[in-house]
A and B are shown apart, each in its own frame.
Chain A
Amino acid sequence: MRSRNTFASLFFAAGLMLVLLVSAQVGPSAAAVQWSDDFADGNYDGWSVVSSEWSAADNLLEVVGGTPVGCDLCVIPGIIYHERQ
């Protein structure tokens, strides 16, 4: 009789533990994606250009700025940023 009671108590405890764990899993989470961009819309709205020219026409972000007039070997690095980390 004592063994049965012990087993029932242990079984109840294990079940309670599982319910609590599952509840913790399905509960609301504070973690979230702050922002994302896959450029699938063909634009880079939300980004601010600092230098050069940029394009997302090919569904990715790239620098398309050319070289300055009169300096074919010059390289103008492109700078662009997104806020709201």
Chain B
Amino acid sequence: MTSGTWSFDIEYDLNSTEEAAVPKIFFMSSDPENWNGYCVEIQPVISGESMFAAFRLLRGTTTPGIVGTDYAILGSFDVDEGEQGSKHIDVTRTRAGQITIWIDGTQVIQATDNVIDAESCEYFVVFMNNNWTIDNVVVDDSLTVGQIPLELIVVGAGAAAIIIVVGVFLRIKRG
């Protein structure tokens, strides 16, 4: 699936996150064990005595024969709401490679990237720690978020047609 929408609810506890195990949701991955693909990472950020979550869009690439994954940050958004939280995440990707992330219905990250062969990404991979949960996972091959619903387009087009007809009729009637 090269384009579509990936949705899920995630509950996080940054206290359980070690530097070496920052949770990631690979919505597009070509390999569940050697991560090559695109993911949402929830990175703990320490600021003074407080800690909050930074949601990041990452591209992970692997090289055959070399252990480890190289990550490139494509976008980032801070959620300054403390160490624990529950969020609904929607991710969309167009065929042109534009990836958009919504948190609780608000668009927070958008980037375009075509480095990874999207055709090869057949896995949805969850990488997380104790005290984290994921729920309501939905993978749809259409863009279900951030688009104008077809019903609204139809109603709008119909209303416009009626207004045009009435306008032309009144103009003709007046002479």
Contact = CB atoms under 8 A, between A and B. Distances in A.
Interface of A: 3, 6-7, 10-11, 13-14, 17-18, 21-22, 24-25, 29, 31-39, 48, 50, 58-65, 75, 77-85
A14 B164 contact: yes
Contacts of B21: 75, 77
Contact of A17 (B132, B137, B151, B161): B161
Contacts, number: 126
Contacts of A75: 16, 18, 20-21, 129-130
A81 B32 contact: yes
A36 B136 CA distance: 7
A8 B12 CA distance: 63
A64 B131 CA distance: 8
B158 A10 contact: no
A14 B130 CA distance: 60
A59 B1 CA distance: 27
A31 B142 CA distance: 5
B157 A31 contact: no
Given A36-B137, A85-B28, 14 more contacts: A7-B172, A18-B158, A21-B154, A24-B154, A35-B139, A36-B136, A59-B135, A63-B128, A75-B130, A78-B126, A79-B33, A80-B126, A81-B29, A81-B124
Interface residues of B, number: 49
Majority secondary structure of chain A interface residues (helix, strand, loop or mixed): mixed
Interface in B98-122: 121-122
Interface string B143-175: 000000011001001100110110011001100
Given A7-B169, A14-B164, A81 B137 contact: no
Contacts of B127: 77-79
Nearest to B134: A61
B123 interface: yes
Contacts of B79: none
Given A10-B168, A81-B124, A82-B123, A34 B4 contact: yes
A14 B151 contact: no
Contact of B157 (A17, A29, A39, A65): A17
Interface string B65-93: 00000000000000000000000000000
